[in-house]
Amino acid sequence: MGNLSIEGLEKSIGYTFKNKSIIMTALTHSSYANEQKARKVICQCNERLEFLGDSVLSLVVSEFIYDRYKDKPEGDLTKIRASVVCSRSLASLANEINLGAYLYLGKGEEETGRSNPKILENAFEALLAAIYLDSNHSKKTVADFLLPLIEKEIVFASQDEMAYDYKTSLQQFIQAIGKDKLSYICVNEYGPDHAKTFEVEARLNSNVIGKGTGKTKREAEQNAAKEALILFDVK
């Protein structure tokens, strides 16, 4: 079961659910639901909510960038949206609200599930759907929760040097030379919550190949990838 009370999550996200069952479903992983069903207990997992939440997320983000960046063409808007609704970004947002601590997981997922990026991504999308449904299909209510979390990522992704460019180039280079296990590790963060600075290392297996800092983890990761490309003399 989730380690913390639902009230703690509600306080964290700034929204109190009228229907507590819907947020319980949003937090229920299929592994937990299957265990309950084996005991003849009716229990729904969050997969249907995840399906809806994916669309709600895309719509809220799309409307925001459409209204904010009136001079950017469709292709740029698509790139911005793709950059901020990717799995890594959503898992990071889930971590910001400590979502993993509230999840209902089966015994097989308890050890690593609360930090599993895919599980966190899916639960975050399910949470958005739960807010949307509980608020009587209010996009504004979802936006009031989501945009303060994701806006800084959108702003960075909208800049001329897109956040994923260096990372994509580095990933392609690593694959081309037959190496494996490229990862980005946040080794430090400091400053007040509204103006944090992040330090990230790009690692190839266990070797540090680049370091970067930034106002978001994504920016720091890009700068670490850029340094790694310089190290490998990749143009």
Q: Among 54, 109, 201, 221, which one carries the catalytic annotation?
A: 54
Look up 54 and say whether it is catalytic. yes
**Type of residue at 147:** L
Q: Among 125, 199, 201, 221, which one carries the catalytic annotation?
A: 125
Indicate the DSSP class of residue 43.
-
SS3 85: coil
Distance, in Å, from the CA atom of 72 to the CA atom of 9, rounded to the nearest integer, reads 36
Backbone angles phi, psi at 63, to 5 degrees: -65, -40
Tokens, residue 207: 């070797």
Q: What sign does the dihedral 176-157-233-205 (CA atoms) show?
A: negative
DSSP symbols for 135-146 = TTS-HHHHHHHH
Provide Rg for the chain, Cα atoms. Answer: 19
Residues 148, 165, 169, 187, Cα dihedral to 10°: -40
Q: Annotated catalytic sites, by residue?
A: 54, 125
